[in-house]
Chains A and B, each alone.
Chain A
């Protein structure tokens, strides 16, 4: 009897191990190994060709050179604003999909939001460039409508970056929002209405507290994606868009300073995680709850 039970337990463990193996391999080979290598890189300094010593100087550079942390703050602030803009735009859409559209209409709306993601991000961003550049569709239209005398250059502004970032992030905000709003029992809304609450009071006291984990999850995902986005700020904002990922790219590719690039990579990871923790504290959410409930 006891032997049988032990064998069964061993078999269960083997099954679990085999099922987890692909994920663990993926995690180990593609995420942990490169990061370990980068971590080693970031903590050394080249003092002569092919001669390195352990050092913190790469990290020191970030804090001592104002350009770098200015760029980082600029990127973080823009990302926070873009995240809030995405939330404000996605919330009504999620409400319509989760609460107002019935059956097929709901899934149809969802597919409409999904379709742009069948095209690669590069092509989507280039599409925006075709629309917004000086010789593009929108400036030409404005001239034709006599709104402006000359074609206006819409590219290479912070506002253009926001347009691109919000557009790219919509779906990642929409998915957790829709699922958290769908789980809100309609009778709670009716009960609040019955007890004297108006639309805004219902939103503030019932809907947002219920959807808070979904809102937080969506915001974390969008914030991280935005902060780490390279293509959209570069293409829509131009070379001077001051996005932190561009600095990392420049260190690795242009300056061939891998040590500095690796240090910037870790700084981005650390600082953005710190910002997420601050955000969770401010909204009174717990990370585990957020991830479990969405």
Chain B
């Protein structure tokens, strides 16, 4: 593990009434973009603050660049952080903001200003050094915050949902910019977010966090195509969730029947016996939509339904279908061919999906019988 810039071993943090981070272990390779993805309250901010040094873990150890960080305060760690609200210093101009960390290291003024100007140039803000912070746009402030950290050449750059405060269009733009910046600088980034799209687009590896633990740690492709737990399946990407009981199994494919009597087939993950409650997930884009059964793949089970509503959203368009026997809602992605451009509510359609690409897990405690 000599190339790991961040190694967490069995890190624990407890607050009065709950365990925020529960014996978490992971490592982040040098130069990679690692994201921690989870809903609010999952402990990701606590974890980040422990890495930065603002909180001390109650157990376990965090090593950065190969040495343990136990007892080392934030101002002596080779780590810098981009704060959620950016926290640029309003009492200083842009150049002084970027030079702040260099000044704390006792680097003389001329050298500071030279390095700060060079860094501003690298993030595309050359000539902005004398501007006031509040004269910059949201995206420019973002870049100043990153420049202010990167000018110190940290081993690790931590980013605490830095895109959360931006509007949608700028957020999409900054996503691409962040990825390019990371590639250009080669610094190890640890990024926390609750936005799965940010995590999938930006990261080399993602840890999906829930209740203080990682549900799954893998590449964005792993998380999307091979979710290991029902939490990951429902949190990452859109999914149709179907709750029922496993009625029979044939090798790894289970037949699942819901309480209202709909039977589907899905690939089993985890130990499931016949009669056990299960949760199955079918992605909208693996289902095939057709007007007649003859157009569907013959090897797959067929279902029929009626169009409830068409959700047109350009490349992400989908259709909500009501399955005929149970009136259950099922989301199917519309193909980009425009073949279904004339689809209207109440049209009768048929659909099918490959059971091997649908996933089925033992039902989580407390969720059996509830559909989402």
Contacts and interface: CB of A to CB of B under 8 A. Distances in A.
Contacts of A209: 91
A192 B52 contact: no
Contact of B101 (A190, A196, A210): A196
A187 B91 contact: no
What's the dominant secondary structure at chain A's contact region?
helix
Given A187-B87, A195-B148, A198-B75, 19 more contacts: A185-B85, A185-B87, A187-B85, A190-B83, A191-B81, A192-B89, A193-B54, A194-B53, A194-B74, A194-B79, A195-B80, A196-B75, A196-B76, A197-B100, A198-B104, A201-B104, A206-B89, A210-B90, A210-B91
Contacts of A198: 75, 104
- Please give me the 10 A-B residue pairs with the lowest Cβ-Cβ distance, nearest first: A195-B101, A191-B87, A196-B104, A209-B91, A187-B87, A196-B75, A197-B104, A194-B81, A193-B74, A194-B74
10 contacts: A185-B85, A185-B87, A187-B87, A191-B81, A193-B74, A194-B81, A197-B75, A205-B89, A209-B91, A210-B91
Q: Name the interface size band of chain B.
A: 20 to 34
A188 interface: yes
Contact of B89 (A188, A194, A196, A201): A188
B187 interface: no
B123 interface: no
Contacts of B169: none
A188 to B, nearest CB: 5
Contact of B100 (A185, A190, A205, A210): A205
Interface string A177-207: 0000000010110111111111001000110
Interface string B99-128: 011001100000000000000000000000
A197 B83 CA distance: 16
B75 A191 contact: no
Interface of A: 185, 187-188, 190-198, 201, 205-206, 209-210
A143 to B, nearest CB: 49
Interface of B: 52-54, 73-76, 79-81, 83-85, 87-91, 100-101, 104-105, 148-149, 152
Nearest to B73: A193
Contacts of A201: 104
Contact of A190 (B76, B87, B90, B104): B87
A205 B100 CA distance: 9
A190 B85 contact: no
A193 B75 contact: yes
A185 B89 CA distance: 10
A190 B160 CA distance: 13
Contacts of B85: 185, 187
Contacts of B79: 194
Given A209-B91, A210-B91, A195 B83 contact: no
A205 B90 CA distance: 11
A196 B76 CA distance: 6
